[in-house]
Structure 1
Amino acid sequence: MSKHQKRLSVPDSWPVERKTATFTVKADAGPHGESGVPLLIVLRDVLGYVDTRKEARYALNEDNVLINGTAVSDEERPVGMFDILAFTERGEYYRVFPGEGGRLALTAIEADAAESKLGKIVSKTHVSGGDVQLGLHDGETLVVEDDQTYDVDDSIVVANESDEIVAHFEYEEGALVTAVDGAHAGEVGTVEEIQVTPGSAQNNVIVSQEDGEGFETVEEYVVVIDENFTGDDEAAEPETVDTEEGDDE
């Protein structure tokens, strides 16, 4: 199977330029499904820490790059929404956050904030023994005892080391949310109204913003967040990629 991905067909969330070269690296199977961005793209095209795949492999073999608290050695490992990237030798920590136009961007965070990550609950099923299994947006699953506490579309914050749920944000009117897809991806506001649509169609969500603009989107595109996610730290926007075909070697 080919190790390359044509740039013109990459998901909109990938922070790469589409016309500078024909191919880019292909993500391995893993978290976040097709929207997951290969770690190599983050290291090279977004942060500029490496110039080539070979340099990325060397850097990752030092075990100084962590995703959600775990050292990563595969440069094709998918990175996606709300993942936590830690560069321990540099003392730098980032949260993957939706940027303008739906492209993933990095927001600098403090070391203590890098000890846990946020997940949107997308499924809730009963498992043997009477417990409940929660499925998160990135494919992770957690088994919890109390099936009355958490609902689909709520958000939880999970500690990287223990998998313990350390915070819970309910999806309801008045909740702070960000859009992660669609025309308003990257925008933050407060849920003003949840419009329940009969049948199998998506519910609509009306979101108000401090500037008075506001927007409307579908329920699938919003994630409940905490006010700590809207700090003044500047996001590391994707850099313009100026590479030639075959740059992934």
Structure 2
Amino acid sequence: MTNHQKRLSVPKSWPVERKTDTFTVKAGAGPHGEDGVPLLILLRDVLGHVDSRKEARYALSQDAILVNGQPVNDEGRPIGMFDIIALEGLEEYYRVFPDEGGRLALTPIDADAADSRLGKVEDKRQVKGGDTQLSLHDGTNVTVDSEEYGAKDSVVIDNENKEIVAHFPYEEGALVTAVRGNHAGKIGEIASIDVTLGSGSNTVTVETDDGEFETIEEYVVVIDENFVGGEDDE
């Protein structure tokens, strides 16, 4: 199986130039599905900390790079929305966050903010024993003993003990960011949620400092008011 991916066919969320070279690195198996960006691309093409796959492998072999609090040894490991990347030797910490073009970008954060990460609840179901299992956008499953969590809510997960440390309900008045579509990267409060009968997606109207926009609810994620600023996060 090839380790290369044609640049012209990569997902729109990948932060790569499509017309410079023919190929780029291919993502390995892991979270975030096809939207996951190989860690090598972020280390080499975005941050410029390595020049080659060989240098990336060496850095990873030193347990110098953490993703969501865990050392990573695979340069093809898919990185996606809201993941936390820590380069502790350089005292650099980043959150993966979509820019206004919808491409994944690295937002610098402080060391304390790197201890946890945001997750959008994609699904919930009851499991053996009566507990509830939450399935998050990145494939993480969290078991809780409460019914207070709903699909489309957001939770903050502690990277060390994997426990929920904050909960942000999906509701009118909630602060959200658009992560896909024409309004990706915009932030505002939900003004209204319009339920669509049948199998169509519900739509939301979001008020921003510059006006408002409408999108489908699958494209928005609830965030904390301190989430974007990088200070005193979560």
| TM-score, L = length of structure 1 | 0.91
Structure 1 runs of 4+ with >4 Å offset: none
Distance 1:230 1:141 in 2: 24
- The answer for the alignment partner of 1:236 in structure 2 is none
What does residue 3 of structure 1 align with?
A: 3
CA distance in 1, matches of 2:20, 2:102: 20
Aligned to 2:131: 131
Q: How many residues align?
A: 231
Match of 1:238 in 2: none
Q: Distance in 2 between matches of 1:34 and 1:88?
A: 28
Residue 232 of structure 1, CA deviation: 7.0
Structure 2 unaligned segments of length 5 or more: list them. none
**Per-residue deviation at 1:100?**
1.9
Alignment of 1:38-187 (within 5 A): 38-146=38-146, 148-187=147-186
RMSD: 0.9
Question: Percent of aligned positions with the same letter in both sequences?
Answer: 66
Runs of 5+ unmatched residues, structure 1:
234-249
How far did residue 96 of structure 1 move? Answer: 0.4
Q: Give 1:230 shift.
A: 2.6
SS in 1 for 2:226: helix
**Structure 2 length-normalised TM:** 0.97
**Whole-Å separation in 1 of the counterparts to 2:143 and 2:230:** 35
CA distance in 2, matches of 1:51, 1:100: 27
The one-letter code of the counterpart of 1:140 is T
Q: Aligned letter for 1:155?
A: S
Give the secondary structure class of the aligned counterpart of 1:229.
coil
Separation of aligned partners in 2, 1:76 and 1:159 = 24
Q: Return the alpha-carbon distance in structure 2 between the equivalents of residues 163 and 101 of structure 1.
A: 31
Could you say which structure has the greater relative contact order, defined with CA pairs below 8 angstroms and 6 or more residues apart? 1
- The separation in 1 between residues aligned to 2:107 and 2:2, in whole angstroms, is 32
**Matched residue, 1:247:** none
Amino acid at match of 2:222: V
Post-superposition offset of 1:55: 0.8
